[in-house]
């Protein structure tokens, strides 16, 4: 296929494979360390939507993210997170949409908060369905790994994303849609 000038993307994602990741979904209080979600082996996906993005792009995004051979299997072969099978941690990350201006970042291209929240919530739902259905041929209760159910976890849109990441080599990928 001939190279053509890429149009501005509607969504930007950064993927990192992990052996474990923890994300704070409720800020710490005076007497608590907040609420955290956690995944074991799988993939962390940072997500940012741009102006003009609609629900239309979501099925294509989910299909690409779930089927991309970006995870190392036990034998070192690259497989999709579906085939691993692994879990997914979705992290809203508006900073990914920034453009440098001088020493600062500007976010004029980012989607508005309400639209972004709606798309992000729908993305989480579709990833859950995809992960469940994609390995449905296996056990009836859904895919498992090392005796634990694989799952989709996610951060709270608009919040600070306090993240702790443990990798065996993140193999960072950039995917735009």
| Residues engaged in binding a copy of itself (CB under 8 A) | 5-6, 12, 14, 46, 64, 67-70, 78, 80, 93, 95-96, 98, 100, 103-105, 160-175
Comparing CA positions, the residue from 80, 104, 90 lying closest to residue 154 is: 90
Q: Residue 99: CB partners within 8 Å, gap ≥ 6?
A: 105, 106, 107, 108, 109
Query: Which is nearer to a copy of itself, 31 or 100 (by Cβ)?
Result: 100
Query: Which is nearer to a copy of itself, 99 or 113 (by Cβ)?
Result: 99
The least CB distance from residue 96 to a copy of itself, in Å, is 5
Stated as kind and residue range, the H or E segment containing 163 is: strand 163-166
The least CB distance from residue 118 to a copy of itself, in Å, is 22
Give CA angle at 58 (52, 62), nearest 5°: 145
Query: Which is nearer to a copy of itself, 47 or 151 (by Cβ)?
Result: 47
């Amino acid at each position: 296929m001939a190279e053509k000038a890429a149009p501005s993307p509607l969504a930007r994602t950064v993927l990192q494979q992990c052996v474990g990741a923890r994300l704070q979904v409720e800020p710490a209080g005076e007497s608590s360390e907040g609420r955290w979600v956690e995944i074991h082996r799988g993939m962390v996906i940072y997500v940012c939507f741009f102006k003009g993005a609609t629900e239309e792009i979501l099925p294509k995004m989910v299909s690409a993210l779930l089927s991309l051979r970006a995870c190392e299997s036990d034998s070192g072969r690259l497989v999709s997170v579906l085939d691993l099978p692994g879990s997914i941690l979705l992290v809203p990350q508006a900073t990914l949409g920034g453009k440098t201006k001088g020493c600062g970042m500007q976010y004029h291209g980012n989607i508005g908060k309400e639209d972004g929240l709606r798309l992000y919530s729908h993305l989480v739902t579709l990833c859950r369905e995809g992960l469940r259905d994609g390995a449905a041929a296996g056990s009836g209760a859904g895919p498992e790994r090392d005796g634990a159910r694989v799952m989709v976890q996610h951060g709270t849109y608009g919040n600070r994303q306090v993240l702790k990441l443990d990798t065996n080599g993140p193999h960072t990928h950039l995917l735009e849609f």
